Amino acid sequence: MLSARDGYQAKQPAMVVLEAEFGGGQGLQFCHWLRNQGFPLILMLSARIAESDVVAGLNAGADDYLKKPFGIQECIARIEPLTRRSRHIRSPLAIDYGDLHIDLVQRRVRYKGDFIDLTPQEFSLLYILAQAEGEPLSRIDLLRRAWPDAIDNPRTVDTHVLSLRKKIEIDPRHPDLIQTVRNVGYRICARSVIPTHVEKSVSLAHSNSA
């Protein structure tokens, strides 16, 4: 599944056609990861036709669910409404928080013009906090949205937040950007937020080639 994630991050398609059985049954997990990366439209294909399977696919983040076997005309009929929707989606290229610049395409961060060396997990955590635009997120919610694998230890979030603060805060002991919300979790300070947007073209990424 790592190669599929790398493929998505390199191509940044506006729509993904994904098989639920992709990666030996990891399609739902990959779908959930995709949904947390930004704004792709997701059409899920599956031979599993039970109502519970359809609901699981939609709950994982799919915009539509197409049962196998299907005809080419039905597939086109499902894709066309999604492509029409994608023409109206404006996805952020970057977000600025004062001196902090988050490049969502290259997945890089600059502070006062200097690049900050973040691990992939640190970047994902910062990105999810940025998406919330100042709304507090619980540790459980951050684990669910920012971590690719199921982790049930909320203290993992604390460890990564501490590491992030050491890299991007002027005074990590008195953080201004990543703030602790008592009895809730964390939020990013929403002052001086300037998102830069771009229109995404439509492209298809099939799970077998990702």
Give pLDDT tens digits for 87-120.
655 556 777 777 778 887 778 888 878 899 999 8
Q: What is the pLDDT of residues 7-44, one digit of tens each?
A: 776 676 778 899 988 877 788 888 888 877 666 789 99
Task: Report whether pLDDT(205) > 60.
Answer: no
Task: Report whether pLDDT(166) > 90.
Answer: yes
Task: Report whether pLDDT(126) > 80.
Answer: yes
Q: How confident is the model at residue 208 (pLDDT cuts 50, 70, 90)?
A: very low
> CA angle 27-32-35, nearest 5°?
120
Can you give the pLDDT at residue 60? 87
Phi-psi region of 27 (alpha: psi -120 to 50; beta: other; left: phi over 0): alpha
Can you give the pLDDT at residue 200? 44
What is the CATH code for 99-191? Answer: 1.10.10.10
Task: Report whether pLDDT(192) > 70.
Answer: no
User: In sequence order, which residues have a C-beta less than 8 Å from that of residue 15 and are 6 or more positions away?
Assistant: 40, 41, 42, 43, 79, 82, 83, 86, 202, 203, 204, 205
Q: How confident is the model at residue 193 (pLDDT cuts 50, 70, 90)?
A: very low
Whether pTM exceeds 0.85: no
* Structural domain boundaries in the chain: 2-89+199-209, 99-191
Give the CATH architecture of domain 2-89+199-209: 3-Layer(aba) Sandwich (3.40)
Rounded-to-integer distance, Cα 163 and Cα 50, Å? 44
